[in-house]
Amino acid sequence: MTAENNSNMLNFLLFGFVTAIAFYSGTQFNKSSEPVEHISHASLYSTKKFDDGAKEYSIVLITDLDHESKDGKKWRSLVTRGFLKVSADHKNADIHFDKDSEYFVDTNIAAGGRAMELSDLAVFNGKLYSIDDRTGLIYQISDKKAMPWVLLNDGPGNVIKGLKGEWMTVKDTELIVGGLGKEWTTTDGVYVNDHPMWVKHVSAAGAVHHENWKDVFIRVRRAAGIEYPGYMIHEAVQWSPVHRKWFFLPRRMSTEKYSETEDETRGTNVLIIGNENLSDFEVVRIGSDEHKARGFSAFQFVPNTHHQLIVALKSEEKDGKPVASYATVFDIHGNVILDDFQLHGPYKYEGIAFA
């Protein structure tokens, strides 16, 4: 057996062992005794104020490099820092990045020879977290390092496979993590299971509760006129404590059966807003849908706008490989403030946070 095969086997065994002990409640790597009801709501971003009333906020973006994440015996993700500037009247916005501040975070924990394919970012309990959609590991991002915190299992939590986590949001005292929000199928759309329709509630202490959201995701896509075998894929979901509502920016959707090839050109320009108990929904169209290959991958509400403005990421893929990513700013009524702004490099940016 070669050294590389030995390394892959070690990674597989390590992941299998860690997953096995996390079947029902999730595994905590950095245990905290802090009471859940006393979580920190501290902000991590910096703010610069200008004489004309404009404000500039620090942002951080993270990538999912897919197969390119492997770097020797480790796996890595690119972190990029920048700034979002918004005018006083919230009618104009601008984004710029500091290339000198880019850095990689890495890990040696993998599943199936893949890892560190980070999706989304969330500030929770005063810390910055991301989720690896290959292993199901939540990492704390700090001091240019990625530190494992909690391992999430797929579906109801009693399977060995890690959660393919795609989005994260904070509601009250919990971090909520979800997947694609559609039935798991083959590349040709043949049904396999409902595991991607479960979400995970994670407390500040790292305790995990698994909840079946199948009916929720069915109602969300039904609001846009889609019924199975049509589908909707989610990578960008946020809870707004200001509006006490849920916000969904679907990445892909179609009234037709899922097809891996066709899916790459089924991007959306739809914002779906749901009430707190997810029983009633409003559909908002954002600008035009001329760029069907671009799909939403993440978003956050812009600070100090009463959750009226959203900054969102889109990514584009061709034949399963990343082509480009974009940032855009719009309001919750669908008015575009900043048109798709292409980001540096052929990377798939899947997480953004104010930090």
Q: Going residue by residue through the chain, which has 355 residues, state the pLDDT in tens, using 9 for 90 and above.
A: 544 444 444 344 344 434 443 433 455 655 544 444 589 999 999 999 999 999 999 999 999 999 999 999 999 999 999 999 999 999 999 999 988 899 999 999 999 999 999 999 999 999 999 999 999 999 999 999 999 999 999 999 999 999 999 999 999 999 999 999 999 999 999 999 999 999 999 999 999 999 999 999 999 999 999 999 999 999 999 999 999 999 999 999 999 999 999 999 999 999 999 999 999 999 999 999 999 999 999 999 999 999 999 999 999 999 999 999 999 999 999 999 999 999 999 999 999 999 9
Q: What is the dihedral of CA 302, 306, 308, 313, to 10 degrees?
A: 20
- Could you tell me which residues are annotated as the binding site for Ca(2+)? 119-120, 166, 235, 297, 350
Residue 89 has phi, psi (to 5 degrees) of: -90, 5
Report the distance separating Cα 277 and Cα 213, nearest Å.
12
DSSP state of 187: T
Cis previous bond, 156, omega within 30: no
The domains of the chain are located at 3-353
Considering the segment(s) 3-353 as one domain, its CATH architecture is 6 Propeller (2.120)
Report the distance separating Cα 183 and Cα 277, nearest Å.
22
The answer to whether the CB of 153 falls within 8 A of the CB of 22 is yes
Report the distance separating Cα 307 and Cα 311, nearest Å.
11
Extract the runs of DSSP E, i.e. beta strands, from 98-189. Answer: 103-107, 118-124, 127-132, 137-142, 145-151, 167-171, 174-178, 184-185
The answer to whether the CB of 226 falls within 8 A of the CB of 281 is no
pLDDT at 29: 56
- Could you tell me which residues are annotated as the binding site? 119-120, 166, 235, 297, 350
Report the distance separating Cα 177 and Cα 168, nearest Å.
5
pLDDT at 7: 44
